[in-house]
Amino acid sequence: MSQHSGLSNYTIIGFVTIVDVARAKEFYRDTLGLRLLSEEPPFALVFDANGIMLRLGMGKELPPAHGTVLGWQVPDIAAAAKDLVAAGIQFERYGFMKQDELGIWIAPTGAKVAWFKDPDGNILSISEHPELKK
């Protein structure tokens, strides 16, 4: 009897809504270093995010923000944060969380997370997950 695997064997696609297409293209391509695969006006900018398709949907307005919309798992969050700062990224500071000088918060699990925004105000993150290392 075969076990139902649902969608676990398929590659995920990321979706983020943008309003300012030119600014988003520059940010995701030039600042974050993602490869632009195609421009599909009036629908989306399509990027390759390390083998994952990221579609930046061209919208007239942004949906209400409800936390982080996109994140990258990195092996060394301090090094990644310093690289992003050098590229012009400013990390978010949240008064209700204890964050270090780079803006990194340590979760109860030991995961480390830092947040930043894209030009349209979408909340993005980088995170290091020592609890997942084997």
Sign of CA dihedral 78, 17, 68, 5: negative
Do 54 and 74 lie in one domain? The reply is: no
Encoding tokens for residue 103? Answer: 């803006």
Per residue in 46-58, pLDDT (tens digit) is 999 999 999 999 9
Number of domains in the chain: 2
Together in a domain, 97 and 81: yes
What pLDDT digit, counting tens, does each position of 28-73 carry?
Answer: 999 999 999 999 999 999 999 999 999 999 999 988 878 999 999 9
Give the per-residue pLDDT at 104.
98
Report whether the peptide linkage leading into residue 42 is cis, meaning its omega lies within 30 degrees of zero.
yes
Same-domain pairing of 36 and 52 = yes
- CATH code for position 31: 3.10.180.10
The per-residue pLDDT of the chain, averaged, comes to 93
Q: What is the pLDDT of residue 111?
A: 96
Whose CA is closest to 97, among 69, 125, 55?
Answer: 125
Q: Are residues 87 and 32 in the same domain?
A: no
Q: How much is the pLDDT for 115?
A: 98
Q: Which domain holds residue 40?
A: 1-60
Among residues 39, 60, 81, which one ends one of the domains?
Answer: 60
